[in-house]
Amino acid sequence: MPCRDHYDSESVRTVYEDNPEHLKKAKEMEAALCAVFTELEKKGALEEVINRAESNGQIDLMKFWKKHKKEDEQRLTKDLKKYSQHELDMIKDILNKNNAE
């Protein structure tokens, strides 16, 4: 479904920041795009999908994805610093158990 707003990113950002409902929707869409991109990446299909979408939609999705992943990594790294090494070891054990199931 073709979507373009024909606004530069600064104009769109201003509109979203001034309207809480638009900001909420933008964050929901970013989370949805993150989930889809993550699954495509796991399947090894992300680069092909992004390349096609970029050429057909004239939008730089790879730039968004790299920036979003970096922000997620920074946020999670900061969050993990509140845990002791013992707690981190427990978290790893929990994750390994959940992945084994």
Convert the pLDDT of each residue in 16-47 to its tens digit. Answer: 567 888 888 889 999 999 999 999 999 999 99
Q: Is the pLDDT of residue 1 over 50?
A: no
Model-level pTM? 0.71
The pLDDT value given to residue 19: 80
Residues 6+ apart with CB under 8 A from 72: 34
67-100 pLDDT, tens digit per residue, is 999 999 999 999 999 999 999 999 999 999 988 8
Residues 6+ positions from 33 with CB-CB distance below 8 Å: 64, 68
CA separation (Å) from 6 to 11, 28, 30, 39, 53? 10, 21, 19, 29, 17
Per-residue pLDDT at 67: 95
